[in-house]
Structure 1
Amino acid sequence: MNENKMKTPGVYIEEINAFGNSVVPVPTAVPAFVGYTPQAKYEGVSYINVAKKISSFAEFQSIYCYPDSVPPEQPVKQYNPDYYLVKQDQQPVKGDFITIEGSLYAIVPDPNTIYYLYNSIRLFFLNGGGDAYVVSVGTYGDPSGNPSNPEDHVINPNVELNDLLAGIKLLENEAEPTMYICPEATLLSVENNATLMQSMLLQNAEMKSAISIFDVIGGRQPDPFFYTKDISTFRNNTGVEGLSYGCAYYPFIGTTIMQDTDIDFTNLFGGNIDALAVLLKSESLSNPNITSIIKAIKDSSTIHSNISQLHTALLNASRIYHDIIAKVLSVINVLPPSGGMAGVITVTDNEIGPWQSPANRSVVGAVSLPIRLTEAEQAGLNVDAISGKSINAIRFFNGVGILIWGARTLDGNSNDWRYISVRRTLIFIEQSSILAARAYVFEPNDANTWKSVKALLSSFLTSIWKEGGLQGAMASDAFSVQCGLGTTMTSEDVLNGLMKVSIKVAVVRPAEFIVITFEQQMTTTN
């Protein structure tokens, strides 16, 4: 209390702060999903090109999904892709196919109807996701009415580079997201995908608050022999800036997100029932029920209110239709892994912390992989002497199942930043410290302030060390905080209003390679 201000006799109370300020840890697992949604409107307000925070899938549905229909109307499809069965002379080298009555048919989509964000959000929450940001850059576009080439990379012309770049740009105004995820980036051309990835990494490096999780073009249907070409293309297209702020996972994963009630005959041949009837012709000759169901489907007066019933009836009557739906469903359920990884990272952070590598864990809902990498094949992904860009493998292990088997950033040759856990731990410490230090902006640049800042940050780092985020037998081995004249500042710094704090931390690194040495020993006698 300023005694010079006491003019009137009396008793004055002065409260003294007994405890210093504390560092409030920033959230570490808040992904931001950028892409296309069924809709983006709530109570008449548009959420197109708005970074909106959600906390549950129900909240996502209320804003970004079509409203539920009122019975007896058909349930509304939030994702409605079109697939075609195209007859082939021989088995495709890669891609999905089915055999019907001895003939091979490639299963290929209308590329204009393929989107990943909706199912990636579902995969995120299935894997334990919590708070997230969604940036809807638009709604679904019109179908083309034509199938893509069976062996071509699927490019959706409705997915536009400028839309996604604008959505990523909006995140510059949001401090909370710690992961950028753009599942539909792989639906761009290779060149546009490269531009998007480089822009994301550059923004991450400038903001220093988030990493980007990438999917690899070609990971949905890898060529069993030449998949390394897709890996090389990816590495060539990520640039050289901000590599420690990015990580990639390969291949895509087969999931159980969508069920056989989520698609029906309207998802085949653009809804052309005649094309489907041709494939069921041989069964129709011996089973009149199939003919009557097909006839009912063609009856426009009843079809709109009976799609699900007719779909179920056809599933039960026709083995071929049942097999087609099952195969198409398995194709639809092959998803980019980035959404699931965001959920895995969230659970890992909640259980332990960002210093724990999000690896040696399973992805909930993952049941298959389009390619099963061996140890020798993964070696070329994990360590690359030329580019240094590591790609984390998702692998199948007998008796265990599908596991995330990699923990590296794209900066795989850097001793400082090769591990995702190290980069994310430093982001956590840096951002938490920055926010805490703002309380001292404009405070006197003197020894009292330096002592307070040092105590504040030391207390915070001690708590991280106790939780296992920093290595060392004692706190003094785990970190050091310096702030003062003659140590971090000169007299000129003080005159210029600069207060410099030096923090050194020993971040925990994963035991990526465990070497156990065995040696035979001669028998000894007492």
Structure 2
Amino acid sequence: MGQYKTPGVYIVEKNAFPNSVVEVATAVPAFIGYTERSDNKGKSLLNKAWRISSMSEFISFYGGAPKSQFAINAQKKGSAIEADFSVNDKAYLLELQGSRYFLYHSMMLFFQNGGGACYVVSVGKFDEAIEKNKLESGVKILLKEQEPTMVVIPDAMSLDQKDGIALQQAMLDHCGRVMKNRFAILDIFDGDKEVQDSGCVENFRNDLGTNFLDYAAAYYPWLNTSVVQTSDLSFENITNLDVLKELLDTEVDNTQLVDAKKEEIKAQITELTSDKKTSTSAELHKNLNAASQLYGAILLSARARLNLLPPSAAMAGVYSMVDNFRGVWKAPANVSLNGVVSPAVEITHDQQEDLNVTTAGKSINAIRSFIGEGTLVWGARTLDGNSLDWRYINVRRTMIMLEESIKLATKAYVFEPNVSNTWVTIKSMVNNFLTSIWKRGGLAGATPEDAFGVYVGLGETMTPQDILDGVLRVTVLVALSRPAEFIEITFQQQMQKS
């Protein structure tokens, strides 16, 4: 209240309520990878974090799917790789040419599983080789963004394992040491292969290191999805059309058709390698698909290869969906995956034991299929599986949310007098916020006093020297809810009573 010098009526308004703590967003992943293009109405978005909220926005800014090219090659004798198809008892493989760009199809999987607002960092185009340094530079770009709460890099699986692990270590360092307010979702290299045969999980655990494991989770195996349709593919996805023509001719020769019909089909097949085509590409594809079973089988094999995706993007969608409908304190597990046909590898109950609990502590969350339930996420642990504090994903992410929310709210009191009025205001503000979280089930306890405690004051959290140094200390104790990971039901016989 100022000093009055002029006679008159003065109105003074006083705040009746303390400042409130606003809960920060928890379901905002940042995706880093390669795209077809990166522009916004002529303005480049390359190496920039750009916020989108739908697949249509992604397409408008970053373009469509990569034009994947396959070569048809005969399978070598003694090869352990399963053949994609066979003709006259001769096995053939479809070999992907160039790099595999996962980001576009991973974004489709993210939005199908409940994803919403997210950030995209495009570090290059489809005609460029996938490089660790470019993807790692995308991680550094996120230093300037405060909103993202998750980091996902599906294209890391296209690097060799040494570079990929180094990139994942950079993700852990970014989340756990630099920012401390976001969570990394990691994929397993060769996650489409059996654990016993490939040693993929053991290699992942041995190479990843031990730093900041509580800020990340990993999932196994990869997923057989349905994001790519057969209609998205045609003979234009085959590089060696002469081999395709030869195989289709062989199929026609071995079918029991009248000669006139054979000649009609062969004329269409000839157009594959002809410089002068009488049909458009769409018409030729339609005719070949109708006339040849082998042609359809080859496209189905190519589709299956493209639909094999790492699970990190789908899990980012699950995190977002669970956060929005249940809260960040609900473990993102026992949830079915949309757009997923099956896990690439079927895991049994016994096989999951080593994934979930290990002496190294690096827990790997399993994705399993159950009869009548579909494909479920069947694990909710961080990579720091031996830590009683940070073993569970929801515990770490809930703590991040509480820390960031209270941090932003108390920023308003920087440079305020370090006196009891300020202490009481901050204490009541934090108390009100934590009470609301407790009422929604985010904290464990029958009463608010059991769920949390807020302490601030001289002789309680501060010494006279702290006040002279300009330090205001607030201590917050919270009882976070943990998932019922193991439910034990005891059965016992009793004596007959009647």
- Alignment-derived partner of residue 57 in structure 2: 59
Q: Partner letter of residue 269 of structure 2?
A: I
Q: 2:267 is matched with which residue: 288, 292, 295?
A: 292
Answer yes or no: is 1:208 the counterpart of 2:180: yes
Note closer, same or farther for the CA distance 1:439–1:421 as it changes in structure 2 (3 Å cut).
same
Contact 2:72 2:244 survives alignment (8 Å): no
Contact map agreement 2:99 2:130 (CA 8 A) in 1 = no
Aligned match of 1:251: 221
Q: Provide the secondary structure at the position in 1 that maps to 2:218.
A: strand
**Pairwise mapping of residues 319-468 of structure 1 onto structure 2 (< 5 A)?**
319-385=293-359, 387-468=360-441
Q: Tell me the distance in 2 between the aligned counterparts of 1:135 and 1:516.
A: 48
Query: Which digits, 9 at most, give the CA deviation of each residue in 1:65-105, with x for residues without a partner?
Result: 05xxxxxxxxxxx3211122322255743455223332222
Which TM-score applies when normalising by structure 1?
A: 0.91
Q: Distance in 1 between matches of 2:332 and 2:292?
A: 44
Q: How far apart in 2 are the matches of 1:95 and 1:452?
A: 67
Unpaired runs of 5+ residues, structure 2, are: none
In structure 2, C-alpha distance between the alignment counterparts of 1:455 and 1:514, rounded to whole Å: 38
1:483 aligns with 2:481: no
Q: Which runs of 4+ in 1 moved over 4 A?
A: 89-92
CA offsets 1:121-162 (integer angstroms, 9 cap, x no match): 1111111211000000000126xxxxxxxxxxxxxxx11010
Aligned to 1:520: 493
Distance 1:124 1:433, change over 3 A: same
**Structure 2 matches for 1:184-203, cutoff 5 A?**
184-203=155-174
Match of 1:84 among 49, 67, 71: 71
Deviations 1:30-53 (A, max 9, x none): 000001001101211111100111
Summarize the Cα distance change of 1:96–1:332 in structure 2 as closer, same or farther, 3 Å threshold.
farther
Conservation of the 8 A alpha-carbon contact between 2:29 and 2:316: yes
- Structure-2 separation of matches of 1:13 and 1:138: 60
Structure 1 vs Structure 2 CA RMSD: 1.5
2:90 corresponds to 1:103: yes
SS at match of 1:502: strand
Is this contact kept in 2: 1:80–1:113, CA < 8 A?
no
Question: What SS does structure 2 have at the residue aligned with 1:171?
Answer: helix
User: Amino acid of the residue matched to residue 121 of structure 2?
Assistant: V
Following superposition, the deviation at residue 301 of structure 1 comes to: 4.6
* 1:148-159 matches, cutoff 5 A: 158-159=129-130
Report if aligned partners of 2:32, 2:123 keep a CA contact under 8 Å in 1: yes
Q: Which amino acid aligns with 1:208?
A: K
- Distance (whole Å) between structure 2 residues aligned to residue 362 and residue 107 of structure 1: 31
Distance (Å, rounded) in 2 between the aligned partners of 1:126 and 1:31: 15
The amino acid of 1:424's aligned partner reads R
What residue in structure 2 maps to residue 181 of structure 1? 152
**1: CA distance, partners of 2:430 / 2:302:** 55
Whole-angstrom distance in 2 between the partners of 1:301 and 1:485: 89
Contact preservation (8 Å) 1:91, 1:104? no
Distance, in Å, in 2 between the alignment partners of 1:55 and 1:96 is 40
How many Å separate the matches in 1 of 2:307 and 2:83? 12
Question: Which secondary structure does the structure 1 equivalent of 2:232 belong to?
Answer: coil
Query: What is the percentage of aligned positions where both structures have the same residue?
Result: 45
Task: Tell me what 2:106 maps to.
Answer: 120
Contact 2:68/2:237, CA 8 A, preserved across alignment: yes
Paired with 1:313 and 1:288, the residues of 2 have a C-alpha distance of 14
Paired residue for 2:12?
14
Distance 1:224 1:104 in 2: 26
Structure 1 match to 2:477: 504
Deviation at 1:198, TM superposition (A): 0.9
- Identify the residue that residue 165 of structure 1 maps to in structure 2: 136
Alignment correspondent of 2:37: 39
Q: Is the Cα–Cα contact under 8 Å of residues 92 and 106 in structure 1 kept in the other structure?
A: no
Do residues 226 (structure 1) and 197 (structure 2) align? Answer: yes
Amino acid at match of 2:325: E
Equivalent of 2:209, from 239, 243, 252?
A: 239
Report the CA distance between 1:106 and its aligned residue. 2.4
> Structure 2: how far apart are the matches of 1:90 and 1:327?
20
Can you give the 5+ residue segments of structure 1 that lack an aligned partner in the other structure? 67-77, 143-157
**Contact 1:26/1:428 (<8 A) preserved:** yes
Moved more, 309-318 or 25-34: 309-318
Amino acid at match of 1:276: L
Contact 2:72 2:243 in 1 (8 A): no
After superposition, the C-alpha distances for 1:350-394 in whole angstroms (9 at most, x for unaligned) are 101011111111110000222101011111111111x21000011
